[in-house]
Structure 1
């Protein structure tokens, strides 16, 4: 999980219309990768003018086959990867949970929260309060003093998600967030998502398949490099 800063942009809500003012807009996103080595090098066009708009209080699923460009698009949305063309505008703070956890092996869970809290410019009190709540909600407080390299895959996934949620971002971007979760944690995850939606937060979830379609407000599929309603 990487801390993502918030730009100085217009507010995500407007008087009398708090639902239809976008919190994130992606327009004309294109990305091509160069594959192989010369003279057999070729270009692979992954994203072909993707359009995506997210509104407050939505839970949106982004689905597609492996290699369809889902993770590439997510990295572009959070600014971790530059597009070849197109623009991304967002209002408010982003929280990003990558598919592969970005953690420091020798730091404990507590130390990760402290480090990321400083990156988000949280006060020590706010960081501690949010950390306690996330430990309780995700059920891994007993690992607070455990180093990352000693965590199981499921607990590491909880830490990865907890770091994305630490600063209570207006837009939460999750790439395959529940891989490795047991059933109890899976249910806790969806309770967290529902709570965030009720609070007017926006959640974008990437997955190669969706089992519980009723939990989403809408589904978008990446197909042939474009985002289309499903």
Structure 2
């Protein structure tokens, strides 16, 4: 009997011993994260679940570099895409102009940016809003734009903070189609939420309690 060794998959995201606290007043200090760890492998879809106030968004901001931890390390291999819980947009820019702006920030060629933009409009179903200014979009369409901008450069690691909170059922299904395709392509996705309805769509569920995973 012979066995074939399985290739070792190197983590594309690895966070270890993450600690974070906030000072309230002169004496009180609130410990939010107390040594949280999380690892993401190529082609994995992982859910990070915790109650409101458990520190999920704080951990996500540390992972993307928007917040400095008090202790611990974070390493990411490859390009990172981030979809924050609250859409980040410029009110006077259209959807097309947002994609153009982010494409330049990602140093994408004009052809690559336009191709990716067309694919995302079709996948998420909001191409009719291409020339609409952001301040005239509904909350659900802003959520689609927010996700589209995170996906524009086809990142190896995609971090999503409550990504489908404003989606209708059709968009929710479209979202999971996109996630499934990314998994097939070896891309990795970390989704944080206060609850998980479809556990079978995830490879792993990580729970955040008392500042630890």
Same topology, TM > 0.5: yes
State yes or no: 1:181 paired with 2:170. Answer: no
Which of 105, 108, 117 is residue 131 of structure 1 equivalent to?
117
Residue 3 of structure 2 corresponds to none
Alpha-carbon distance in structure 1 between the residues aligned to 2:78 and 2:37: 20
Report runs of 4+ in structure 1 exceeding 6 Å deviation.
none
Residue 157 of structure 1 corresponds to 143
Alpha-carbon distance in structure 1 between the residues aligned to 2:184 and 2:122: 19
Alpha-carbon distance in structure 1 between the residues aligned to 2:100 and 2:138: 21
The CA deviation string for residues 158-207 of structure 1, in whole angstroms up to 9 with x for no partner, is 00000000000000000000011000000000000000000000000000
Alpha-carbon distance in structure 1 between the residues aligned to 2:107 and 2:63: 22
Tell me the SS of whatever aligns to 2:121: helix
Aligned alpha-carbon RMSD (Å) = 0.9
TM-score normalized by the length of structure 1: 0.89
Tell me the SS of whatever aligns to 1:205: strand
Residue 28 of structure 1 corresponds to 17
Structure 1, unmatched stretches of 5+, are: 1-15
Which of 92, 98, 103 is residue 117 of structure 1 equivalent to?
103
Alpha-carbon distance in structure 2 between the residues aligned to 1:121 and 1:198: 25
1:1-230 matched pairs, under 5 angstroms? 17=7, 20-35=9-24, 37-38=25-26, 41-227=27-213
Alpha-carbon distance in structure 1 between the residues aligned to 2:161 and 2:71: 22
Tell me the SS of whatever aligns to 2:208: strand
Q: How many residues align?
A: 208
Alpha-carbon distance in structure 2 between the residues aligned to 1:210 and 1:107: 34
Alpha-carbon distance in structure 1 between the residues aligned to 2:44 and 2:16: 19
The CA deviation string for residues 75-95 of structure 1, in whole angstroms up to 9 with x for no partner, is 000101000111100100000
Structure 2, unmatched stretches of 5+, are: 1-5
Cα drift, residue 42 of structure 1: 1.2
Tell me the SS of whatever aligns to 1:86: strand
